[in-house]
């Protein structure tokens, strides 16, 4: 459900809902967030929430779509040119520049469903269609492509042990060349 009202009260209400949701995301797992808690924090009543969203999942879908749109803005050109390294570079820089809420939604294991929905939408977009159309088993290739985010999430979880640019270079090689592309050859 896209909200584009010009009514100031509606925009304030939607902003309050979104702010309350983001605050709860930072402190709770999704399964622990209730509509009552969200509406209390947003200082609105439940009925007002339901005027704008049919459920908490409806709000999540809206946030997911916004993030998909932002990711595609960042990687579309590289994807359309079938530039794997460019996709990884742009995507990692996007993730690195995300705010705390977006990083939690995309990288925290308690929000794995969110990450899966966003990743699925990005990889099924027109920008990525050529990557998969040229293969015999597009679903297998799409599954392999998901590794890009796992690499970043693990790097983040481990406290960023190497510089971002080195991570980008290494992840690009792994994705583009597979394991054989990163094995250190004996001298």
**Predicted confidence (pLDDT) per residue in 162-177, tens digit:** 999 999 999 998 888 8
Give first-to-last CA distance, the chain, whole Å.
59
Q: How many CA atoms lie within 13 A of 158 on its CB side?
A: 12
pLDDT tens figures, 138-148:
787 778 778 88
pTM for this structure? 0.85
Domains (range + CATH), the chain: 8-54 (1.10.10.60), 59-181 (1.10.357)
Give the model's pLDDT for residue 178.
77
Task: With H, G, I as helix, E, B as strand and everything else as coil, classify residue 128.
Answer: helix
172 vs 131, higher pLDDT: 172
Give the model's pLDDT for residue 95.
93
Packing angle of the helix pair 84-97, 147-157 (nearest 10 deg): 40
Residue with tokens 């709000």: 59
pLDDT tens figures, 42-76:
999 999 999 999 999 999 999 999 999 999 999 99
């Amino acid at each position: 459900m896209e909200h584009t009202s010009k009514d100031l009260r509606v925009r304030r209400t939607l902003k309050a809902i979104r702010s309350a949701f983001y605050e709860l995301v930072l402190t709770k797992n999704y399964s622990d967030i209730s509509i009552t808690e969200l509406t209390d924090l947003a200082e609105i009543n439940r009925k007002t929430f339901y005027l704008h969203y049919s459920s908490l999942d409806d709000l999540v879908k809206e946030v997911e779509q916004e993030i998909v749109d932002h990711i595609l803005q960042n990687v579309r050109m590289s994807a359309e040119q079938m530039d794997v390294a460019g996709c990884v570079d742009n995507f990692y820089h996007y993730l690195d520049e995300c705010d705390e809420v977006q990083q939690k939604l995309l990288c925290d294991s308690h929000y794995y469903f969110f990450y899966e929905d966003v990743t699925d939408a990005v990889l099924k977009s027109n920008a990525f269609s050529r990557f998969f159309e040229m293969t015999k088993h597009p679903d297998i290739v799409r599954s392999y492509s998901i590794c890009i985010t796992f690499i970043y999430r693990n790097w983040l979880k481990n406290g960023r042990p190497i510089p971002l640019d080195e991570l980008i270079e290494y992840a690009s090689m792994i994705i583009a060349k597979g394991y054989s592309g990163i094995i250190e050859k004996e001298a």
